[in-house]
Structure 1
Amino acid sequence: MCGGVYYTHNGLDTRFYFPNPKAKLPVRQRSGSVALLPWGRRQEQRGVLPLGGWARLDSIYGGRWDRWFPVPVKLPLKSFMERDIEGQSHWFDLVRGQWIQGLVARDGSEQRIYIVTVEPELESAVHERWPRILNG
């Protein structure tokens, strides 16, 4: 379910794991610049936006995110981390032109980003949720 990310921002390689309350994700702005936003919300963090760091695509289409004024965004990541059923971490690289879809949610001045997830296409997939990877 994408528990870690790796990206470059302002010339610095950065690796964050979701449990870190300071975790941020890069968001490509329409101007082409990249902004860093807080990745989801943890139990101990103040706010009203949903707990967790992921948004199921079917729940977005179902309107469950509408009250937080969702905005789809591109996350320019180099790779992401998933754990297998034995708890081992595996990093998956994105190729040039690929990006992961994110969702920016807002409530007043609170703004956070969530990774959009889908069901994997492979029947043999170990994970029930996978980041939505798009091209272009």
Structure 2
Amino acid sequence: MCGGVFYVHEGEEYRYYFPNPSAVLPVKTKSNVVLMPWGRRKEQVGKLPAGGWARLDSIYAGRWERFFPVSVKIPVSQFMEKDIEGASNWFDITKGKWIQGLVAREGAEQRVYIVTVVPEMPEAIHDRWPRILSG
């Protein structure tokens, strides 16, 4: 489900895990890359959905519409998934590809969520996987 990310922003390396309330993700804009809060933890103040992920099927079903969703590119180098034994496994993202994100907002609150899909591999450990796009 993508519990962690690694990226370089303005020459500095960042490694964030979703449970960290200070976790931010890089979001590509037309002119640059900005850092945005990664989702919302249940204990954090706010009105946006708790969690750090948005299921693609829920986006298509319109469940995010009230949060004025905007599809964005999240340019990270790697993402992390835990295996069945709880060990962290890091996966490289091929150059020219990115994770699809969704920026949601409620009033002045704005956060980015990682878009997830059902994995194509029947033996996948997780029922959700980050949606990786190119082009």
TM bucket, shorter chain: over 0.9
Residue aligning to 2:9: 9
* 1:44 positional shift: 1.2
* 5+ long unaligned stretches in structure 2: none
Residue aligning to 1:30: 30
Alpha-carbon deviations, 1:64-119, whole Å to 9, x = none?
00000000000000000000111110000001111000000000100000000000
Residue aligning to 1:18: 18
Residue aligning to 2:94: 95
**TM-score normalised to the size of structure 2?**
0.99
- Separation in 2 of the partners of 1:37 and 1:67? 20
SS of the residue 2:120 aligns to: coil
Alpha-carbon deviations, 1:7-46, whole Å to 9, x = none?
0011001000000000000000012x00000000001110
SS of the residue 1:60 aligns to: helix
User: What is the total number of aligned residue pairs between the two structures?
Assistant: 135
- Separation in 1 of the partners of 2:123 and 2:86? 17
- Separation in 1 of the partners of 2:21 and 2:126? 24
Matched AA of 2:61:
G
- Separation in 2 of the partners of 1:30 and 1:60? 23
- Separation in 1 of the partners of 2:35 and 2:20? 15
- 1:5-84 matches, within 5 Å, as 5-31=5-31, 33-84=32-83
Matched AA of 1:120:
P
Residue aligning to 2:113: 114
Matched AA of 1:121:
E
* 5+ long unaligned stretches in structure 1: none
SS of the residue 1:41 aligns to: coil
- Separation in 1 of the partners of 2:126 and 2:17? 17
Give percent identity, aligned residues only: 67
SS of the residue 2:119 aligns to: coil
- Separation in 1 of the partners of 2:49 and 2:19? 15
SS of the residue 1:59 aligns to: helix
